[in-house]
Chains A and B, each alone.
Chain A
């Protein structure tokens, strides 16, 4: 099996709910965004449109970040295709950040907090498990998925613009959506085989 995600750009309203749900789930520090939302414009006058483009790690079939990692800290789980990081192995060389065509990796270089008065108890509880001076990225909420839940960004999307399922199963909801609605990936020319697909806006 291979976990994948489909994001319906016609449904996405750019509310940043996915970004915040991800922040709450993983307690990522300032400057680290496993999921984020870009605002884009497309077309030419008079047929122009503004739309939101949610981005996250693409959990590629042939991930260049894994090939570029000198320690094996970046790796792909054989059983479900999720690309993950073993932070105990990461040396912080950041070659994976340069190798990723989707710029969805972040370097957590120092303890940081969101508020001027210092770290809140919530931040402390959520961030103490994170290592510093290592690279961080989305892991499709693997712990949640293994517990039978949806990734936080999918579960919390108010417009149900995100779908999660098995790409290897041709009858899964995401495989059908990709086939029927012309799902496409970002940077197909990179040849990495992303597991995140988009439906046209």
Chain B
């Protein structure tokens, strides 16, 4: 999927949500809940908790829409960061941290293989191809940062990898994904 297709929708949606249009909220949910839920459920393994966070996130999109500033980034980036932060806060508050973040370099299994992602709404093959184009260490950093909600400095401490190396690898990973998806 080419995310650029969403650009007009996103800007229009923001205007309509600011105007408190319930239809716009419904549209937002229909089109973005799966992408948002994916981001949350990779951080929180417990399905019930992940669903609560999803609801909190959408209520926050609706209630805090005035805080979104389009000059500072895309609407989706704003939404996904709110969702990730809610998920990470929940993980920490419930002391679920240990259960959620048991991965280490030896036991880490690519998150896309996990059961709860078996009902992916978009093509898994494309994603696997995409991840295959990454080097193993790039995949690992992307997994930890993007799929598991670690900050880059947390990975640095926990796995004893220099922060600069992590930044470079994350950069390369995202760059390769761009190349595969032809965003450049």
Interaction A to B: no
Residues of B within 8 A of A (CB): none
Residues of A within 8 A of B (CB): none
